Structure 1
Amino acid sequence: MSYATGVNVMLAVQEKKTVAVDLYRPLRQYIAVTYGEQEAQAVEDDLDAVRQLRLDLEKPPNAAASPSLRRDNLLSYYRALAVIEPRFPISPDRDHVHTLTFTWFDAFKPAKKAAQTSIHLEKAAVLFNLGAVHSQIALSADRADAAGLKQACNAFQTAAGAFAYLRDNAAGRATTAGGATVDLSVECAGMLEKLMLAQAQECFFEKVIGDAKPPALCSKVARQVGLYYEEAYAVLNAPPLNQHCERTWISHVQLKAAQFYAEACYRYSLDLHEKEEIAEEICRLRIGISALADAKKSARGVAQPLLDAVNKLETNMNHNLETATKENDRVYLMRIPAASSLTALPAASLVKPTSMAEVLDASKESLFSRLVPDSSTKALSRYTDMVDDIIRTQAEKLQQGSEITRVKLKEMDLPDSILALEGNFSLPLDLKEDVEVVQISGGPSGLEPELQQLKDLRRVNQELLVQTEELLKKEADEDAQFRTQFGTRWTRTQSSVLTKNLQDRLNKFAANLKQAADSDARIERAMRDNFNLMAMLDHRPIESALPSLSRPIMSLDGNEDAIVGALKQSLRQLENLGAQRAGLEDILKEMKRKDDILPKLMASTGSQEDLFKKEISKYDQICEEIAQNIEAQEQLLLQIQAQNDDFSSVFNLEDYKVAREKSYKQISAAIAKYREIKDNINEGLKFYVILQDAITNVKQQCSDFAMTRNIQCREMIEDVQRQIAGLNFPDGRAGYNHPSVGQSNLQRNASQQPDPQSAQPYPQPTYHHPPGEHPRPGYSHPYPTYATPPQVPYQAPTSQYPGYRGPYYNAPQQQPGSHPRPPYAIPSPYPPSHQGGYHRPQ
């Protein structure tokens, strides 16, 4: 062991030595067998890096390798070991890495060594050397300088942290694995931790002395130094260390414990002297001097500077004791208390072991990251299930809390009643949307122009119908006039026979118009009867048509504002709790997204259950916050319930609710009535448009019929006149002066008189003959150079709306088996349940 001399003498721990070992080949062979040759080739660089770290560790400490460099190498190698452990099991088992053997020598007894096929010995030895290197860094610092004193104090605390980590995480496993040296025992690691803490606290004592702090503070610091040394000495003086460590070490720690106990008594006595508590001062000095005397008797082999410091302290205490005794004998004459009656000296610990968990954490190491054993994958899945269960449970609590709030507020009609009092209330969303649709479509005020349009269309249809009937009537009158004039010579079919179907259609159109007029009257009557009800839909905004919540006309105590204010404040608090729940839910999701413990799982060497417990614990705080939020909400809802009861009583809220619900029902009824009338008007408009097309179609047919009949009429008039005049032509040709020909034509026309039931619209067509060709007897015409236009024989219509097909009517082509729809066919009227009663024109 090494010493540092100065104001106080301190100790440093020597590093353990090891035997060279090749990590590359055994690890690569295991990877190739377990994970495959391709994976072994992929991690060649990682294997080389680990091998180099072990080679650097095997080099003996020298001037070229400073403690800082050795410290960094030890940290890197330990993290590499943490990555290796879960991936490559090292043990004598044939299925494991069984060809690796680690050998380490005892730091206190270099002749003794331990060899194990276990990574636990390797990790324990590395941790021991890490603590030793930090103690050497502390010892090399210049404590005469403030910066050097701080560096030494921090290094001693880090060394204590390394030895504490060794005791808690590696020493027991190394011993269990078999054949570990005493320096890696739990007892030795604990002793070294206390020794390093004692020396770190001693650095603080040097600082407070250098800064001339009050004696009472210096006494507390010194007493804690002594306590740490006492704890270390207790372990050193017991098996197995009492027969293992050097005697000089035991004597050093024993003398240090006595020295700082005496130092605490000395500094405490200075404070007592200032307070003129001379009797206790004398007693404290005697106790300290006695402790130094006893320790010096067994202090063999300690460093001379330490003995010099102890002798100097003893001299100072004897001088102060002599002075205090004289003062007491001459002035104070106080009785000296017994040592057993005094209280223990106070102590103040200013140091603690530095936590090594963060610097030794291998979760961020990239070595062998692509190799994940099945056991780790299953463990990760189990942890993920644990996290999912927490997230799901807490999310359900949050959602349930929000739902409870919504239901409770709806039951209390909040915040709608508060908004109603301030004039900011609104319709229910579905009802408001219906009103907006009505207003966008024109509202009740827009129905009147539509009704007028309905009347205009009915008038247009009526005028078309009259015009069409006049066409047929005019043609029929002309036909009757000529029939009266010519008598039996007027052989064509009567108009009433040919236009019977057309007249039937027109009569049905007239009936449809009459029924439509009745429906229009009913719509107009419905508008007039429900105008006041529907008028509220024209209010913009619609809320202006609703009843309002107002303050009471007379107030008994004038506390309405206080009641409203308290309720609004509680609602704001409830809203804040809701926003907090939303934030907590986002935090939960983010925590789950970032919660990847696979690197930690692969680097952890302890129990998986312990790791899971530690990792899951990070959700404890947010779970507690969620529970507090839900509990606060429950209390707040009870408070709001009581406040709302007062509010309802003062502002007569129940009557307002009744009036409001009544208004909602009226608005719903107005919307329903508006839609009914609107639908009937639209149905009527559609009916009149289709009817107009149908009448226009029939009018065109009537017009074609009248024109064709007019042409036929002129031809027949000429034919009859020729018959009467008895005209004939020479050379056997028909002429105007040939009575036999005229007679023949009259007879022929008479013989061709159609039966009324099967009459065709026109007489049979005549035929022309080329010049010079003589027609057959009996088929000659009185006018050889004029013939009627080609005619299409009348056929009984097959559709529901028969009509006249004149010579200019082109019938649509239809496929065999198809049923053509007449161009003027009218769809069915709107359902009978509507207000209107329009019928399809037949």
Structure 2
Amino acid sequence: MHSLFRRAKAPAPMPMPMLSFPGKKALRFTGDTSAAERDVDLAVLMHARSHVVLASECAKASAAETAAALRAYLRIIYASQMMGGSMQQMLRFAWRDAGSGKKKAKASASAAAAGQGQGHTSLSTEWAVALFALAAELARAAAEEDRRGSDGIRRACTALCDAAGALRAAAARSALPSDRLCHMTDACLAAFERLMLAQALECYFELAFAGGKPPALCSKIARQVSLDYVEVSVALASLQQQQAIDRSWAPHAQAKAAYFHAEACLLRARALREQGPGVAGEAVARLRLAVSVLEAAGKGPLKKSSSSSAAPAAVRDAAARLRREVDAELAAVEADNCQVYCERVPAADALADLPGLPEPLVRPTAVERVLREADGEAALASGGAPTIRH
């Protein structure tokens, strides 16, 4: 039997993919900026933003490089005392939405360059948009991590919590009208934050399972992951009517919700088997429930489809592996119950709901920690002036 997260001599299967969302690309300043360049504070701000623009324009820039430029830029804004001053009117900041395809990106860039419909002069708005861009790069870095080892899982989990913190801070300061930049509405920011935290908790489950934590604890974590993905799928589905949300995201979240519900049932059954007599009937019922959950998902979000609104093949493969493991476990438990325990098997609707976690294991990172440099310098929470590496 091979669980998705079980370590064995054979190469472990790839973990299920993570979702990331399109970010923002910074555009160069237009018009006369000579007055702003004569101001010391604005000159530093412009210099930091130029690195963000270069990273946006470089197709080969990694998520880590772009995130580093955005962090340095955000530290300048954070340390500035101009958030409500008049000098900010000297500059007009402009961004464009990062499209998934070249045609969309070119069209968005042309529209922004021609009409500057996505421009603004508010540093508070600039703070919010740059935070969103940073969150998108952190989510992309997490999605690209190799999570077959514990170090990769931890890096992905940290990046996802940082992304959630950046999104929460962006929502607190966002002043940009919702029709100017895609995904900058309160509903979108909240949904993306929930998605980042659900994926971070998924990483936490991977660590707990690979680390040999007790099945009872892993079952609670898996159940909480499932509940979180249910909330995410509802939020994403409601956004599809108003925002340019990828149609595959909601089925992706629904499929993971079903997967982790079945995983929680499997682990709960294993925990019950460790207790011995008296709970063998419930163990059988939990495994049968896991089978029904996966079968129902196979007719819904896990159904193989050629349309774009379907869960990725990697998630379907993971669900298929889990189904084989559940079937094997169910056969063994039913045999034990028939031959040894002879306990009554309760109906699925008579089972109590599996408990989740009493407290959240993952939280959005405080924005002061998100903006720290990679080596831990510039502790903004202590009031120290940030440093910028050029």
TM beyond 0.5: yes
* Contact 1:8–1:305, Cα closer than 8 Å, also in 2: yes
Matched residue type, 1:155? A
Secondary structure, counterpart of 1:102 in structure 2:
strand
* Aligned residue among 325, 349, 355 for 2:366: 355
How much does 1:235 deviate? 0.4
* Contact 2:76–2:386, Cα closer than 8 Å, also in 1: no
How much does 1:27 deviate? 5.7
Secondary structure, counterpart of 2:368 in structure 1:
coil
Q: Which has the larger radius of gyration?
A: 1
CA 72–161 in structure 1, closer or farther in 2 if over 3 Å, else same: same
How much does 1:183 deviate? 1.0
CA 106–73 in structure 1, closer or farther in 2 if over 3 Å, else same: closer
Query: Hey, what does 2:323 align to over in structure 1?
Result: 314
Query: Hey, what does 1:777 align to over in structure 2?
Result: none
Q: Please give the per-residue CA displacement for 1:120-166, whole angstroms capped at 9, x wherever unaligned.
A: 44322211111112122323333223322222221111111111222
How much does 1:262 deviate? 0.8
1:163 aligns with 2:163: no
Query: Hey, what does 2:285 align to over in structure 1?
Result: 283
Distance of 1:118 and 1:253 partners within structure 2: 37
Distance of 1:104 and 1:203 partners within structure 2: 31
How much does 1:338 deviate? 3.0
How much does 1:364 deviate? 4.5
Query: Hey, what does 1:128 align to over in structure 2?
Result: 132
Query: Hey, what does 1:87 align to over in structure 2?
Result: 85
Secondary structure, counterpart of 2:96 in structure 1:
strand
* Aligned residue among 43, 46, 49 for 1:48: 43
CA 50–23 in structure 1, closer or farther in 2 if over 3 Å, else same: farther
CA 104–290 in structure 1, closer or farther in 2 if over 3 Å, else same: same
Distance of 2:147 and 2:386 partners within structure 1: 39
* Contact 2:35–2:90, Cα closer than 8 Å, also in 1: no
Q: 1:380-395 maps to which residues of 2 (within 5 A)?
A: none
Query: Hey, what does 1:702 align to over in structure 2?
Result: none
1:9 aligns with 2:10: no
Q: Please give the per-residue CA displacement for 1:465-513, whole angstroms capped at 9, x wherever unaligned.
A: xxxxxxxxxxxxxxxxxxxxxxxxxxxxxxxxxxxxxxxxxxxxxxxxx
Q: 1:262-277 maps to which residues of 2 (within 5 A)?
A: 262-276=262-276, 277=279
State the structure with bigger RCO (CA 8 A, min sep 6), 1 or 2: 2
* Aligned residue among 104, 120, 136 for 1:117: 120
How much does 1:264 deviate? 0.7
Alignment TM-score, normalising by the size of structure 2: 0.77
* Contact 2:240–2:247, Cα closer than 8 Å, also in 1: no
List runs of 5+ in structure 1 lacking aligned partners: 29-39, 91-96, 368-842
* Contact 1:107–1:183, Cα closer than 8 Å, also in 2: no
Query: Hey, what does 1:71 align to over in structure 2?
Result: 67
CA 183–335 in structure 1, closer or farther in 2 if over 3 Å, else same: same
Distance of 1:315 and 1:61 partners within structure 2: 47
CA 242–319 in structure 1, closer or farther in 2 if over 3 Å, else same: farther
CA 23–157 in structure 1, closer or farther in 2 if over 3 Å, else same: farther
How much does 1:316 deviate? 1.3
CA 148–337 in structure 1, closer or farther in 2 if over 3 Å, else same: same
List runs of 5+ in structure 2 lacking aligned partners: 1-12, 372-379
How much does 1:24 deviate? 7.1
Query: Hey, what does 1:432 align to over in structure 2?
Result: none
Q: 1:313-712 maps to which residues of 2 (within 5 A)?
A: 313-348=322-357, 349-358=360-369, 360=371, 361=380, 364-365=384-385
Query: Hey, what does 2:157 align to over in structure 1?
Result: 153
Identity of aligned residues (%): 31
Secondary structure, counterpart of 2:232 in structure 1:
helix
Matched residue type, 1:86? G
Query: Hey, what does 1:737 align to over in structure 2?
Result: none
CA 200–99 in structure 1, closer or farther in 2 if over 3 Å, else same: closer
Query: Hey, what does 1:374 align to over in structure 2?
Result: none
Distance of 1:100 and 1:323 partners within structure 2: 68
* Aligned residue among 144, 153, 157 for 2:148: 144
Distance of 2:164 and 2:118 partners within structure 1: 26
Distance of 2:255 and 2:212 partners within structure 1: 25
Matched residue type, 1:100? R
Secondary structure, counterpart of 1:179 in structure 2:
coil
* Contact 2:75–2:386, Cα closer than 8 Å, also in 1: no
Query: Hey, what does 1:292 align to over in structure 2?
Result: 294
Secondary structure, counterpart of 1:17 in structure 2:
strand
Matched residue type, 1:55? S
Query: Hey, what does 1:104 align to over in structure 2?
Result: 96
1:247 aligns with 2:255: no
* Contact 2:128–2:170, Cα closer than 8 Å, also in 1: yes
Identify which range, 190-199 or 264-273, moves more after superposition.
190-199
* Contact 1:78–1:126, Cα closer than 8 Å, also in 2: yes
Alignment TM-score, normalising by the size of structure 1: 0.37
* Contact 2:165–2:370, Cα closer than 8 Å, also in 1: no
Distance of 2:173 and 2:129 partners within structure 1: 9
Q: Please give the per-residue CA displacement for 1:16-44, whole angstroms capped at 9, x wherever unaligned.
A: 2243224872763xxxxxxxxxxx85x34
Tell me the C-alpha RMSD between the 2 structures: 3.0
Matched residue type, 1:225? V
Query: Hey, what does 1:303 align to over in structure 2?
Result: 312
Matched residue type, 1:80? I
Matched residue type, 1:305? A
CA 180–365 in structure 1, closer or farther in 2 if over 3 Å, else same: farther
* Contact 2:262–2:294, Cα closer than 8 Å, also in 1: yes
CA 8–118 in structure 1, closer or farther in 2 if over 3 Å, else same: same
Q: Please give the per-residue CA displacement for 1:808-830, whole angstroms capped at 9, x wherever unaligned.
A: xxxxxxxxxxxxxxxxxxxxxxx
How much does 1:64 deviate? 5.3
Distance of 1:141 and 1:58 partners within structure 2: 25
How much does 1:317 deviate? 1.1
* Contact 2:22–2:98, Cα closer than 8 Å, also in 1: no
* Aligned residue among 39, 58, 71 for 2:53: 58
Q: 1:708-787 maps to which residues of 2 (within 5 A)?
A: none
* Contact 1:19–1:103, Cα closer than 8 Å, also in 2: yes
Q: Please give the per-residue CA displacement for 1:426-482, whole angstroms capped at 9, x wherever unaligned.
A: xxxxxxxxxxxxxxxxxxxxxxxxxxxxxxxxxxxxxxxxxxxxxxxxxxxxxxxxx
How much does 1:240 deviate? 4.9
CA 284–243 in structure 1, closer or farther in 2 if over 3 Å, else same: farther
How much does 1:103 deviate? 3.7
Tell me the number of residue pairs that the alignment of Structure 1 and Structure 2 aligns.
340
* Contact 1:101–1:117, Cα closer than 8 Å, also in 2: yes
